Structure 1
Amino acid sequence: MPREAEISLNERAFIQQALQEDLRLDGRAFDAFRPLQLTFGDEYGVADVQLGKTRVIARVSVEVTTPPPERKFDGVFQIITEFSPMASPAFEIGRPTDAEVILSRILEKAIRRSNALDTESLCIIAGLKCFALRADVHIVDHDGGLIDASCIAVMAALQHFRRPDVIVEGERATVLSVREREPIPLSILHQPLCVTFSYFEDEDVFLVDANAAEEQVRQGEVIVTMNRHGEVCQIAKYGGATMDPLAILNCTNIALQKVRELSKFIQARLDEDAAKRNAGGLLAELSAENAR
């Protein structure tokens, strides 16, 4: 079975020695993220996130379907993860690794189960028709921090996406095209984001956004999911290292600060994209009519 290329014993000892001296190999502070880039595609609902050398692309799509009988007034929302063999030699199509299982589980709890998306707004006709929303997460390049980058990509894609408008006449629903009516943004109730802390028990150190080499050396990890209002959506711990409760509480305080910074960053990129689209869209047409 394919495996991740492991670092040597000398590299492992070097990283541990650097942490004892309060240093990281790339010169970052212990609570600092790598450089973050967020770009949107030409169509709505495509977000490309680059966190250091890690790259994740999320794409949101929608179709009309029949709601499940037990949830007649809700739409359908699901998150699908896909690990490309190009990202790492450890990934293989059709054979999910532990990393893929953990990522799917974390995103499911962080976004779908925390009701970040108002699924009732996806209902068209109760019990007959609804929108089925699907977020595909493609891991293009892996250098650590997959959970944080994937959560940013999915939330950015959901906020960027626009669903088609519908006209309902009795039990008949007509889905309108983009030319007929402007598509509608999704109803986002809150914006949960993940911050992963890598724990080194021997040095009693927590690192934010560890790269692939640091992830191989760590003895445990804590994933804190919060929104910018300070509401904790989930706390997940993996690894056998023991952790002090006060240390985890300190992690939530750091996570809140990071989540607020990430939320502002995402909103700024969304505003830039909206301004770019409006420059050649309706505003340009209106200004042309005024000029005439």
Structure 2
Amino acid sequence: MKETPLSNCERDFLLKAIQEKKRLDGRETYDYRKLKIMFGTDYGCCFVELGKTRVMAQVSGELVAPKDNRPNEGIMFFSLELSPMASPSFEHGRQSELLVKLNRQLERCFRNSKCIDTESLCVVSGEKVWQIRVDVHMLNHDGNLMDAASIAAIAALCHFRRPDVGIQGDEVIVYSPEERDPIPLSIYHMPISVTFAFFQQGTYLLVDPCEREERVMDSLLMIAMNKHREICSIQSSGGIMLLKEQVMRCSKIASVKVSEITELITKALENDKTARKAGGKCGFAESMPQERITALKKEETSVEMTDATERANNIILEAEVPPQTQSLVVPLPGMGQVGQGLKNRQGLEEDEQDEEEASNSDEDQEAVMEVETTQKAQGDVVEISDSEEDEVVILQPEKTDRVQKKTSSSSQLKGPKASKKQQRK
């Protein structure tokens, strides 16, 4: 499956952003993406994240017969895998052009540069030597696979420990890690690859190109260098020719980046070493959050019979304590809680509301009765008797004032009429 080509608009946008010295992820021209190095639980397993590019390297060793032309030297073997999980453009079980190029570059970077003492891998001259195998798996492809693969490979080689070997007569005995401590590899230097991308016939230069920038680039330059500024390998691919000044400029930039990455690898190795000595968590598998299914797991709890009588006495004392002395916990509404001295409130919210309404109605009736009794004492209540029921009409204060005014006015009218009648008599 081939890569989906970019549209003309997207291609023009990327090239215009590069002309203005701007990148999609906000980096500067010579900036690397965020680099993260982690080690596995076993020796020789390394996991590298370069931005969104993820690579895992695993180093293993076995005793094999040496080569005829080099009977006193061990063997180094590199194997890369571009799985479809990393990118849809990769096909499983088929060697693409990119895979062959990456594999050759790794061999030049590590084997031809003599970064590892292969003579120390010899056990019996001409019969048994150690074969060190480096398997590199691409987990996610977001550009610059060569740099991530070289960092993961050299970090895994520095982290690897081979078993100790003893010779008794014609027999070769391989000791387990419990019997003898494993032995690290003798590494002279750490070659690290730095990738440069050129655009518009070499006019513009970028370090650590991402996947989209690799699609629109014109040429690619990979320089493998160690912290001593020694060039281990150099490879250029593309249709343009680079000038001497451009190559020298890239080598100066690569020397700075290699020294920074080397310091990061040494710090990661030291942190892993201290974590293993302290007995804490080590490896990227332990640092990830794990959700394990423990339904079939039986947890064994230690049973102590020495203080059984004390626990029984404490339980009896707690049972004899009256509920008033215990601290009552008020549960949340809608939560059921049953226990000694605690009240179950589950499903009793409606009953409490009914009781509150009933208590409020009782209080209202008592208030009405008190008003009626006071008004009866004052004579402001007019009772209308009926054969079956007695209805009580309560006159408001305004109505009582009007009645008093009417009665007073009628008495005033009745007064002068009576006086006139007396005069006539």
TM-score range, shorter chain: over 0.9
The structure in which a higher percent of residues are strand is: 1
Give me the whole-angstrom Cα distance separating, in 2, the residues matched to 1:111 and 1:171: 33
Q: How does 1:98-117 map to 2 (within 5 A)?
A: 98-117=97-116
> 1:168 — aligned with what?
167
Encode CA deviations 1:72-96: one digit per residue, 9 max, x unaligned: 1011111000111111111111211
Give me the whole-angstrom Cα distance separating, in 1, the residues matched to 2:201 and 2:180: 60
Give me the whole-angstrom Cα distance separating, in 2, the residues matched to 1:203 and 1:228: 27
Q: CA deviation at 1:20?
A: 1.1
1:217 aligns with 2:191: no
> 1:145 — aligned with what?
144
8 Å contact from structure 1 (residues 31, 208) kept in 2: yes
8 Å contact from structure 2 (residues 136, 149) kept in 1: yes
> 2:204 — aligned with what?
205
Q: CA deviation at 1:201?
A: 2.8
State the secondary structure of the residue aligned to 2:4: coil
8 Å contact from structure 1 (residues 201, 242) kept in 2: no
Q: CA deviation at 1:235?
A: 1.3
Give me the whole-angstrom Cα distance separating, in 2, the residues matched to 1:242 and 1:75: 38
8 Å contact from structure 1 (residues 144, 210) kept in 2: yes
State the secondary structure of the residue aligned to 1:49: strand
1:16 aligns with 2:15: yes
Q: Which amino acid aligns with 1:117?
A: I
Q: CA deviation at 1:203?
A: 6.6
> 2:93 — aligned with what?
94
Larger mean Cα displacement after TM superposition, 26-35 or 89-98: 89-98
State the secondary structure of the residue aligned to 2:256: helix
> 2:157 — aligned with what?
158
Give me the whole-angstrom Cα distance separating, in 2, the residues matched to 1:261 and 1:115: 22
> 2:338 — aligned with what?
none
State the secondary structure of the residue aligned to 1:124: strand
State the secondary structure of the residue aligned to 2:232: strand
Q: CA deviation at 1:169?
A: 2.7
8 Å contact from structure 1 (residues 66, 127) kept in 2: yes
8 Å contact from structure 1 (residues 227, 256) kept in 2: yes
1:187 aligns with 2:181: no
The structure in which a higher percent of residues are helix is: 2
Q: CA deviation at 1:35?
A: 0.5
Q: Which amino acid aligns with 2:152?
A: A
Give me the whole-angstrom Cα distance separating, in 1, the residues matched to 2:67 and 2:181: 28
Give me the whole-angstrom Cα distance separating, in 2, the residues matched to 1:85 and 1:22: 33
Q: CA deviation at 1:97?
A: 1.4
Structure 2: gaps (5+ residues): 281-425
Give me the whole-angstrom Cα distance separating, in 2, the residues matched to 1:130 and 1:43: 22
Give me the whole-angstrom Cα distance separating, in 2, the residues matched to 1:35 and 1:263: 15
Give me the whole-angstrom Cα distance separating, in 1, the residues matched to 2:170 and 2:37: 41
State the secondary structure of the residue aligned to 1:69: coil
> 1:290 — aligned with what?
none
State the secondary structure of the residue aligned to 2:91: coil
Give me the whole-angstrom Cα distance separating, in 2, the residues matched to 1:154 and 1:6: 31
Moved over 3 A (4+): none
Q: CA deviation at 1:242?
A: 2.3
> 2:5 — aligned with what?
6
- The total of aligned residue pairs comes to 280
Select the structure of larger CA radius of gyration. 2
State the secondary structure of the residue aligned to 1:194: strand
Q: Which amino acid aligns with 1:70?
A: N
Larger mean Cα displacement after TM superposition, 196-205 or 262-271: 196-205
Give me the whole-angstrom Cα distance separating, in 1, the residues matched to 2:208 and 2:21: 16
Q: CA deviation at 1:280?
A: 1.8
8 Å contact from structure 1 (residues 201, 241) kept in 2: no
Aligned Cα root-mean-square deviation (Å): 1.1
> 1:226 — aligned with what?
225
Structure 1: gaps (5+ residues): 282-292
Q: CA deviation at 1:139?
A: 0.5
TM-score (norm 1): 0.94
Relative contact order (C-alpha < 8 Å, sep 6+): which is higher? 1
Q: Which amino acid aligns with 1:200?
A: F
> 1:288 — aligned with what?
none
8 Å contact from structure 1 (residues 5, 89) kept in 2: no
Give me the whole-angstrom Cα distance separating, in 2, the residues matched to 1:28 and 1:11: 19
Q: CA deviation at 1:172?
A: 2.3
TM-score (norm 2): 0.65
